[in-house]
Chains A and B, each alone.
Chain A
Amino acid sequence: MKTIYFNKFYKSFNILSGILIIASLVFLVFKGLNFGVDFKGGTLIELRTDKSSANITKIRDSFNQMNLGDVSVKNFGNETDFVVKFEKQNSNDPQFIEQIKTKLSNSIGSVDFRRVENVGPKVSAELLRSGVIAIALSLAAMLLYIWIRFEWQFSLGAILALFHDVIITLGVFSVFSLEINLSIVAAVLTIVGYSMNDTVVIFDRVRENLRKYADVKIFELTNISINETLSRTIITSVTTLLALLSIFIFGGEILKGFSLAMILGVIFGTYSSIYIANPVLVSLKVSQRTIVKEEKE
């Protein structure tokens, strides 16, 4: 196969990544994330109307009359399905949901509540905390693993690549106000695993090549390693993306956010293994001595 000179573009793509990361951070800080009821508390109702005459405006109007705080109404999948979210949660009142249903039936005709989620402020705060801890813990565990398996230069490269993927994926969610819920946390963790996986495959090859060629500069060496593992990188990304696209298109509305986050993560993860992890090795001037020294110790 023809050699592709990935290393020619290290600089330009690093600048691009830098811009993307800064932009993501700006969005995350100033616009923030669109937390769902899992993390913000409140009530979510997925409802199906039997008439197509019900539209978002009508549904929003009838909910607004019920004094439930901020109400958001969105179409969910097909045109008779809607998701309504509002701040108020009153799960202690057993009639709360029933009353909403009755009032709604009076104004827009018969409705079917397909899903009701009601999360109190205490629980949502806990879920948010455990979500953050889970992500932090998995990053730490990855760091530990790769620190045991590789030299510190490699660990740094892999971890920077991880942060790159997680930050940009969250950045995209912030830009498009996509909802962050429990399944997104699961997706982010899986992205962390996948991105690591991808980086490790290239790094293993870099290390093997470092042993083999004493006189090749790391700049060239990373390119050789990327090329040698390229067909694997492409095939695995393609099969994973095929599976994820299938979930995204056919898996129903509930899994849309999850599979989208994963798709983004796989794309960024593949890109970062090449353009973040490897340039780190280059700028840290990794050479045969780096690994030989470690192995002697």
Chain B
Amino acid sequence: MLYFSKLRVFSVLIFTLIISYFTISNFTKVDDEFFSKNIKLGLDLQGGSYLLLEIDNEPVITQRLQSKVLEFKKFFKDKDIKVRNFVIENKSIIFDVENSKIEEVKSLLDDDKSEINPYFQQYKSHQFNIENMDTSFKLEFSDYGLVLLKNSSLDQAIEIVRRRVDEVGTNEPNILKRGNDRILVELPGLDDPGRIKSLLGKTANLTFQFISSSSEESFGTEKLSFEDGSSEAIVSKRIVLSGDNLMDAKPTMNNQTNETVVSFSLDRVGAKKFGKATSNGVGKRLAIVLDGKIISAPEVREPIIGGNGQISGNFTFQSATDLALLLRSGALPAPLNIIEERTVGPDLGKDSINAGIMSLIIGFILVVAFMFYKYRFFGLIANLALISNLFLLVGILTLFEATLTLPGIAGIILTVGMAVDANVLIFERIKEELKNENNSIVAFDSGYTKSRTTILDANITTLIAAVILFFMGSGPIKGFSITLGVGILTTLFSVYFIARLITAYYVIKNKHKEKLI
């Protein structure tokens, strides 16, 4: 165990130096991208906001079922099959079929090549599960059908979220999918997420609908209230134009009324539709509806054909800016709920870093002093191993651009405390061996050999805990598991390559000395 080939010494040295370089690169500035890596600080250290959003897919499911009903009606009509009594109940479509066509409908729905109820070969599942009782059919999304629906609404939503967050212009936001109905938004450096939250909390479904002339709610109209809650109006359900046709929107000042408005421009299809509707509707009031609330309902004085318009509605400059931003980024497929929020102010982050570094330095000094007191020269070797261990650990974290969190710093300090264990096990073993062995080289050698399984056992158990934490933990805890896990690997390296190398060199030089350790 004490013999090292020249090549090995050389490679250990080179490896240690290269990794240590990355530790130092945290404190220096180099232009080259690869050589100027920095450890990333978690939100708890640099300050910032962490938001976990969950998509409320209920409305999407209902919407999808409604459009599916239309598809079914058309499909059966084309096939000359009479179906009646379509209802949507408990997230399923129910309808009746004439007696003679039951089998035909069944096969149309249940076939692997069904046009209306697609079959997904690799998941062995149709889009809908079918239940049949006499003439009545009940269709419900299959598990896979739901997954498909959720995935597509998540894909759309994350795109919109990204646009909205980017528009606000925060520093390096991190937006990720979580499962099939959640979105994680990390906003470093943001200590007041109020604005982002209000932007993400709106679906931003914009529609233009005419105000109905009748004062009673009837088929084809709905009662909607105004944004400011002042009054209500009966609005035609027919949508003249929706936000999908919007190309751009920005806050502007209306020179005539001296009020802040949102001016928008439409794409070609939208402009055409809008022109036609406004030509027919001169004199009527057109309601501008956002998420089911009327922002304003101006009277159409003349046809608007250019595809440009304005939305007024008692805006402040800020609220007009936000509305324009929402309209530009598009509507979310479904409402988002913020189910978890963690915000750390930059002051606290800085305090945490300082406290973390302070306790690292003090913990390090205490351990180093104790080891020197216990083992003298060999304590120095263990301490040297400990220092290189720290350099390797921080270097590797930097190289892989791992995120350092406050619990992560705690993991590093804990590594400092536990890393000496391996060297202690070896030194104690050597002491025992020296009691029965006069040749100190043999004693050192067998000390290393005999302690090896114990050291591996001891470190593997801690590694198991770290790996489980990594997979089960979130955010800051993940940071802890990374430093703890990488710390074990660097510990083993520093003990078996660096400390052993120095020990070997020393023992071979001083083999005749009494009381080596």
Residues of B within 8 Å of A255, CB to CB, are 355-356, 359, 406-407, 410
Whether A73 is near chain B, meaning CB under 8 Å from some CB there, is no
Write out, one digit per residue, whether chain B residues 177-199 have a CB within 8 A of any chain A CB (1) or not (0): 00000000000000010110110
CB contacts under 8 Å to B, within A42-86, are 46, 48
Residues of A within 8 Å of B458, CB to CB, are 197-198, 200-201
CB distance from A182 to the nearest CB of B (A): 5
CB contacts under 8 Å to B, within A213-269, are 228-229, 231-232, 235-236, 238-247, 249-252, 254-255, 258-259, 262
Q: Which residue of B lies closest to A141 (CB)?
A: B464
**Among A7-15, A16-24, A185-193, A280-288, the stretch in contact with B:** A185-193
Choose one: B195, B338, B359, B425; the contact of A246 (CB below 8 Å): B359
Whether A149 is near chain B, meaning CB under 8 Å from some CB there, is yes
Choose one: B51, B351, B367, B461; the contact of A252 (CB below 8 Å): B351
Whether B303 is near chain A, meaning CB under 8 Å from some CB there, is no
Interface residues on A, range: 35 or more
CB distance from B430 to the nearest CB of A (A): 12
Whether B484 is near chain A, meaning CB under 8 Å from some CB there, is yes
Whether B327 is near chain A, meaning CB under 8 Å from some CB there, is no
Whether B473 is near chain A, meaning CB under 8 Å from some CB there, is yes
Choose one: A98, A197, A205, A239; the contact of B367 (CB below 8 Å): A239
Q: Count of B residues near A, CB < 8 Å?
A: 73
Whether A2 is near chain B, meaning CB under 8 Å from some CB there, is no
Once A91-B197, A186-B480, A244-B417 are accepted as A-B contacts, the answer to whether A142 and B461 lie under 8 Å apart by CB is yes
CB distance from A208 to the nearest CB of B (A): 8
Docked-complex contact A200 and B366, CB < 8 angstroms: no
Docked-complex contact A250 and B358, CB < 8 angstroms: yes
Main secondary structure of the interface of B (DSSP, over half): helix
Bound form: Cα–Cα A186–B366 in Å: 24
**Among B66-74, B102-110, B247-255, B340-348, the stretch in contact with A:** B340-348
Residues of B within 8 Å of A46, CB to CB, are 348
Whether B352 is near chain A, meaning CB under 8 Å from some CB there, is yes
CB distance from B291 to the nearest CB of A (A): 14
Q: Which residue of B lies closest to A44 (CB)?
A: B342
Choose one: B417, B453, B474; the contact of A239 (CB below 8 Å): B417
CB distance from A274 to the nearest CB of B (A): 16
Once A138-B464, A182-B476 are accepted as A-B contacts, the answer to whether A92 and B420 lie under 8 Å apart by CB is no
CB contacts under 8 Å to B, within A103-142, are 112-120, 122-123, 127, 130-131, 133-134, 137-138, 141-142
Bound form: Cα–Cα A134–B471 in Å: 9
Residues of A within 8 Å of B463, CB to CB, are 193
Measuring CB to CB, which residues of chain B are less than 8 angstroms from any residue of chain A? 44, 51-52, 54, 192, 194-195, 197-198, 201, 337-345, 347-348, 351-352, 355-356, 358-360, 362-363, 366-367, 370-371, 374, 406-407, 409-410, 413-414, 416-418, 420-421, 424-425, 428, 432, 453-454, 457-466, 468-469, 472-477, 480-481, 484
A-B pairs, 8 with minimum CB distance: A243-B417, A246-B363, A193-B465, A252-B355, A94-B198, A134-B472, A193-B462, A250-B359
21 intermolecular pairs with C-beta atoms under 8 Å apart: A92-B338, A94-B194, A123-B339, A130-B472, A142-B464, A145-B460, A197-B457, A201-B454, A201-B458, A204-B453, A235-B428, A242-B363, A243-B417, A246-B360, A246-B366, A249-B359, A249-B362, A251-B356, A252-B406, A254-B352, A255-B359
Known: A186-B481, A239-B424, A255-B406. 8 other contacts (CB 8 A): A91-B197, A95-B194, A130-B472, A130-B474, A182-B476, A193-B461, A252-B352, A255-B407
